[in-house]
Chain A
Amino acid sequence: MDSPIKVRSVQALRDLKGAVERFDQESIAALRAAEQELQATERWLQERLSYWRSQVLQWEEAVRVAGAALRICQASASYDPRTGASYVPNCSAQQATLAQAQAKVLEAQRQLSNVQTWQDMVRQAATAYRDQVIQVTRMLPTVLPSARIFLGNKVTELETYAAAGTLSDARISSGTAAPHPTAGVQSPTPASSGTWSTPEIQMVTLDQIDVSTSSVTGPQHFHKVSPQDMIEGFQKLQQVVMPAVAQGADGDYFAHLDTAQGLAYVHGYQRIFDVFYGDEAIRLEKLGGTYHIINGQHRLFLARQLGIKAIPALVTTRQA
């Protein structure tokens, strides 16, 4: 039994979808910009560190030179035993130069230490931030597009009900659409004895599909194709391929469409058609009112995650 829909404002869902789209775009842009600024700060601190290190070395050298000059000056003192006169040089300038150089060394060392302190503090804060960014950037590329599609489907569904004037007591629909004549045909392997119909493409509601035997329970089970790629495939399926197929489009139509848009097969619509209506279609066996999965567990798992209600599949029905 499907649960009732309780939505008092379709516009609120549209606005929520818009906010999700905005956050999807702006969050990624903000995180990228933050990382760029962080790297710029790290480079600036490293540059300051190098600068003050060189300043320490430079003023230490100045101290050595000034010290040598002072010693030479002081060594120029003399005593004339014949006259008893002594000569004491004025080395105050050399002493002042030495004192100034020593002060500069101390200042450069203090600044060097200061840079090291702030470099450590920035490093610690950056590590904590980047650890968190790793967490969030693992989640955002999956959750946000899925949420957007989920809400888009919901809005479309509600608009359809509203157009039919049945929103007041709307329920999630179930049932199947007419078979598609362009579907690829393969013979299934019956799980049990009996007579089987010719396989045909049908729209099957996900609620009718028995997923209890599916081994796909999370993103960790996606190896060949990433969830993100599959989500994009579902977008193409729902926005372009399914509406066109409903109008009679076949594989040639999508091949022409890909050519017109300059899309390679792997990124195009023909591939989506093949995946859902052709030789790679999801295959189900219908026993009574329940559909059992022959193949397509990953697509069916993700379709449920995206809140998709019905999906094209190659169905073989066991005759009574």
Chain B
Amino acid sequence: MNVPYTQLQQSWQHLSQQWQTTTPLWDDQVRWAFEAEFWQPLRSQVPMTLMKMEQLVRVITQAKQQVK
């Protein structure tokens, strides 16, 4: 589970950083519409998914260490 988690986390980090880079350079109504329509759903759901996946990764790692 570590590989998929890292892949999702890095991909999201890349997208977030690109968004942070873009927003100061794009400031019109279309950008606000884009943010409301597309960015907000991603920002609300993806970090939550990463958090749940991280918790699962931690539990699975411990299980593999503890279970014979």
Binding site for B on A (CB under 8 A): 3-9, 12-13, 15-16, 18-20, 22-23, 26-27, 29-31, 33-34, 37-38, 41, 45, 48, 111, 114-115, 118, 121-122, 125-126, 128-129, 132-133, 135-136, 139-140, 143-144, 146-147, 150-151, 154, 172, 305, 307
Determine if A12 and B22 form an interchain contact, defined as CB atoms under 8 angstroms apart: yes
Is chain A's binding surface mostly helix, strand, loop or mixed?
helix
Distance between Cα atoms of A128 and B57 in the complex (Å): 12
Determine if B67 and A136 form an interchain contact, defined as CB atoms under 8 angstroms apart: no
| Residue count of chain B within 8 Å CB distance of chain A | 45
Contact partners of A7 in chain B: CB under 8 A: 25-26, 28
Determine if A15 and B22 form an interchain contact, defined as CB atoms under 8 angstroms apart: yes
Is chain B's binding surface mostly helix, strand, loop or mixed?
helix
Bits for B27-68, please: 1 = Cβ < 8 Å to A, else 0: 111110110011101100110110011011001101110111
Given contacts A7-B26, A125-B55, A307-B34, contact A37 B68 (CB under 8 A): no
Partner among B7, B48, B56 whose Cβ is within 8 Å of the Cβ of A29: B7
Determine if A118 and B62 form an interchain contact, defined as CB atoms under 8 angstroms apart: yes
Partner among A5, A6, A23 whose Cβ is within 8 Å of the Cβ of B14: A23
Determine if B11 and A147 form an interchain contact, defined as CB atoms under 8 angstroms apart: no
The list of the 7 closest CB pairs from A to B, nearest first, reads A30-B8, A34-B4, A19-B18, A147-B38, A26-B11, A33-B4, A118-B63
Determine if A114 and B3 form an interchain contact, defined as CB atoms under 8 angstroms apart: no
